[in-house]
Amino acid sequence: MKNNQISRSIIQRIEQEAKTYFHGASGCHDWTHVQRVLNLALHLGRLETADLKILEVAALLHDIGRREEMRAKGAFCHAEMGGKLAQKILARYKLDRDVVGNIVHCIRTHRFRDRRNIPKTIEAKVLFDADKLDSTGAVGLGRAFLFAGGPGSGNLYTGNEVKLAKIGHDYSFTKEDSAFLEYEIKLKKIKDAVLTPSGKKLAMGRHRFMLYFWQQFWQEVQGKK
């Protein structure tokens, strides 16, 4: 779908500004993550007949609050902060209120763990799915190892992941964290959380890959492979 309000020039300027929020960002949430989410969002958006320009801007801006959230070790929600930052950025372009509102809504509702803010527009649902899909499959597992290997953790695995996952706390930025714990708490549930039919198809394939990976992983840990 076309949005005549958002020109290619505006998108390019927003992209350049968005990049400034990723200087020194962690590898699991750096600019390459934004690029992958953008590619996924546009692919899904075409299949779901979403407004591709709204989707493109929302994807470029969706994680502009993430670097500071990581530095603060999760002390605030990057989606909420990102929505506020995006509103200030978009105010410069004199876009219609409903266009800005949809973009900000996409950003505020893209987070998996925050179920208070549910995606309502097709663009928000597509962005949610694209962001979640980048947490699964081969790339998603790589990102999980990067995140869990950061300051405060550094475990390859602990052996307590299944038990801790049942308790249900958020172990990010703690010594209990590991990539497998992230899988147990979040990644294996994503196939059931995606919202669009197109997203669900991609999610199942990536989920099957993760199942195979962890089967191989634990067999190697036990010396069986």
Same domain, 115 and 152: no
Task: Select from 123, 154, 170 the last residue of a domain.
Answer: 123
Chain-centroid distance of CA 131 in Å reads 3
Q: How many CB atoms are closer than 10 A to CB 186?
A: 20
88 falls within a domain: yes
Any idea what the CATH number is for the domain that residue 76 is in? 1.10.3210.10
Q: Looking at the structure, tell me whether residues 8 and 116 fall in a common domain.
A: yes
Confidence of residue 9 (pLDDT cuts 50, 70, 90): very high
- Whether residue 35 is contained in a domain is answered as yes
Of the residues 123, 149, 175, which one is the last residue of a structural domain? 123
Are residues 58 and 160 located together in one domain of the fold? no
Token digits for 105?
């809504």
CA 4 to chain centre: 28
C-alpha torsion sign, points 156, 160, 161, 165: negative
Q: What was the pLDDT predicted at 35?
A: 97
> Can you give the pTM of this predicted structure?
0.89
Region 15-40: what's the mean pLDDT?
Answer: 90
Give me the pLDDT at residue 152, please. Answer: 59
CB 137 within 8 A of CB 51: no
**Could you tell me if residue 130 is inside a domain?**
no
CA distance 147 to 57: 26
Same domain? For 45 and 112 the reply is yes
Whole-number mean pLDDT of the chain?
A: 89
Q: How many domains does the chain have?
A: 2
Average pLDDT over residues 216-220: 95
Q: Calculate what percentage of the chain has a pLDDT beyond 90.
A: 64
Q: SS3 helix, strand, coil % of the chain, rounded to 5?
A: 65, 0, 35
Under 8 Å between Cβ of 99 and 2: no
How sure is the predictor about 70, in pLDDT bands with cuts at 50, 70 and 90?
low
Q: What is the pLDDT of residue 128?
A: 97
Pseudo-torsion of CA 24, 25, 26, 27, nearest 10°? Answer: -90
pLDDT tens digit string along 147-194? 887 655 678 898 889 898 888 777 777 788 899 999 999 999 999 999
Tokens 């190697």 map to which residue?
A: 220
Amino acid at 132: K
Co-location of 20 and 63 in the same domain? yes
Instruction: Using the predicted structure, report yes or no on whether residue 202 has a pLDDT greater than 70.
Output: yes
CA angle 115, 120, 121 (to 5 degrees): 140
Query: In the listed set 123, 152, 178, which residue is the last one of a domain according to the structure?
Result: 123
CATH at 158: 1.20.58.1910
pLDDT tens by residue, 80-121:
888 899 999 999 999 999 999 999 999 999 986 656 779 999
Range of the domain at 14: 1-123
Among 12-26, 58-72, 120-134, the range of highest mean pLDDT: 120-134
| Residue 128 included in any domain | no
Both structure tokens of 82: 């990102």
